[in-house]
Amino acid sequence: MIELLRKRRSVRKFTDEKVSAEAVEILTEAALRAPASRSLNPWEFVVVDDPQLLQKLSRAKQHGSEFVARAPLAIVVCADSTKSDVWVEDCSIAAILVQCTAVSLGLGSCWAQIRHRKHDAETSAERYVQELLGLPEEVKVECILGIGHPAERPRPLPAEKLQREKVRKNRWS
């Protein structure tokens, strides 16, 4: 697992090659195997490979989601908010498991935050995605993961660049 974490970087440029059906199945299995508080599994996933829909998803927020238009696959990570008070955490865990699984398959990915972001002055990014995908009101959107074969290979973060000062032992001071 540590090797996957060492390799995982945000990839925003993808080749035109489609993600295989087998890879999509493995990615969705990873999502569905994600742990969730009290095993409530509030998460839901919308797998998108329709190019027109990917274009529209890329405009979900004012900036930072453009790369989704160039991804051959996106997974919208959302949850039934009535099932759990910690759906955000559960969705976040599922999303990173999908991203690590993507790395293990030789794919790249990037997270586009949707929750608490604006689509435009009147509409939230979440509302935009809910309407676009026909999600019920109680299904909240955490993020969109753009996934594909990388057209760029960002270098792994060198170990000496890790922020070791962020780790304390036993106490803060």
**How many other C-beta atoms are found inside a 10 Å radius of the C-beta of residue 15?**
13
The pLDDT, as a whole number, for residue 94 is 98
Q: Where are the domains of the chain?
A: 2-152
pLDDT at 121: 95
What pLDDT is attached to residue 128? 98
Query: Distance between CA 171 and CA 173 in Å, rounded?
Result: 6
Mean pLDDT by 10 residues, the chain (173 residues): 85 97 98 96 98 98 96 98 97 97 97 97 97 98 98 89 94 91
| 110, 67 contact by CB (below 8 A) | yes
N-to-C CA span, the chain: 30
pTM: 0.94
CB atoms inside a 10 Å sphere around CB 145: 25
User: CA 135, CA 129: separation in Å to the nearest integer?
Assistant: 8
pLDDT value for 7 = 84
Say what the pLDDT of residue 2 is. Answer: 83
Q: What is the pLDDT of residue 118?
A: 97
What number of other Cβ atoms are within 10 A of residue 164's Cβ? Answer: 8
Report the C-alpha gap between 63 and 23 in whole angstroms: 28
Please state which CATH class domain 2-152 belongs to. Answer: alpha beta
In whole angstroms, give the CA distance from residue 99 to residue 145.
Answer: 8
